Amino acid sequence: MGRLVLAATPLGDPGDASARLVSALASAGVIAAEDTRRLRSLASSLGVTPSGRVVSFYEDVEVSRLPRLLEALHSGETVLLVTDAGMPSVSDPGFRLVAACVESDIPVTCLPGPSAVTTALALSGLPCDRFCFEGFAPRKPGERSRWFTSLASEPRTVVFFESPHRVGSLLADAAAALGASRRAAVCRELTKTYEEVKRGTLGSLAEWAADGVRGEITVVLEGAVAAPVSVSDLVGEVSARVAAGERLKAVAAEVAEGAGVSKKDLYDAVVASRK
């Protein structure tokens, strides 16, 4: 049995390639590449000559390529999967092949490395303790509107990709839907010569991008800030639990602690609501 190796490739600067990637390019029996021309260009810049077969593995042929790649893996060959930049399967081809290998008990491993998602998140200046990745922003107006609605109350920092010719309209739509004061960062051409990280509010970023932006784009959006909870907002919850048989004092203390309000004030408010 062979094994599938997922390999992260540089976002732009070939110097970010790991020694393990160089070794894998030289030794893999099969290299499945999203763009074979880019793969050969990367290998040339790294001074390595692939010894195995190089096959294309982009979105339109992903399904049709699976049987031959699985056949190679079953025969004992190592298949190296690389995309144009970053980690395979993250908004790039790879998921279907990984799933097929898991289904067939074929070993899968990973050569970690560059990722536009975590690079942009780290550079954004926004909270990094919790985040979610949304892939590419929806293109159609209706889908985009519903998407923004779902993000309106998302507390985590959100990372997503967008094409350069749509980023201006996206930021304008985001400012209208989520509020012009919500913070964000637009990361352009990460690790490349003209790398730029533009930070600000959605309103200011929409103005900046109105005349067009070039390059590969990753957007980082601030999570929604929870509205402060008042004692009066909690009276109904406490009253319902007391009516169900719990003790008022214990419930008021628990709910108050969770909401960050005074347990005495909450207790008094529940008692007052009974009068």
CA distances from 183 to 176, 190, 217 (A): 13, 20, 17
Q: Edge-to-edge, what's the strand order for the sheet holding 217-221?
A: 131-136, 157-162, 217-221, 183-188, 196-201
pLDDT attached to residue 141: 87
**Closest Cα partner for 223 from 131, 135, 156?**
156
Which has the closest alpha carbon to 170: 216, 139, 204? 139
pTM of the model: 0.80
113 CB-near residues (< 8 Å, 6+ apart): 7, 8, 9, 10, 16, 17, 18, 21, 87
| 10-residue averages of pLDDT along the chain (275 residues) | 96 95 97 97 97 96 96 97 94 94 97 96 96 95 91 95 95 95 97 96 97 95 84 91 92 89 92 88
C-alpha distances in Å from residue 97, one per residue of 32, 59, 143, 275: 10, 12, 28, 66
With vertex at residue 185, the alpha carbon angle to CA 224 and CA 133, rounded to the nearest 5 degrees, is 60
H helix count then E strand count, the chain = 11, 10
Q: Go through the domains of the chain in sequence order and give each one's CATH number.
A: 3-114 (3.40.1010.10), 117-221 (3.30.950.10), 231-273 (no CATH)
Query: Rounded distance, CA 38 to CA 25, Å?
Result: 13
| Residue 239 CB partners (closer than 8 Å, separation 6+) | 270, 273
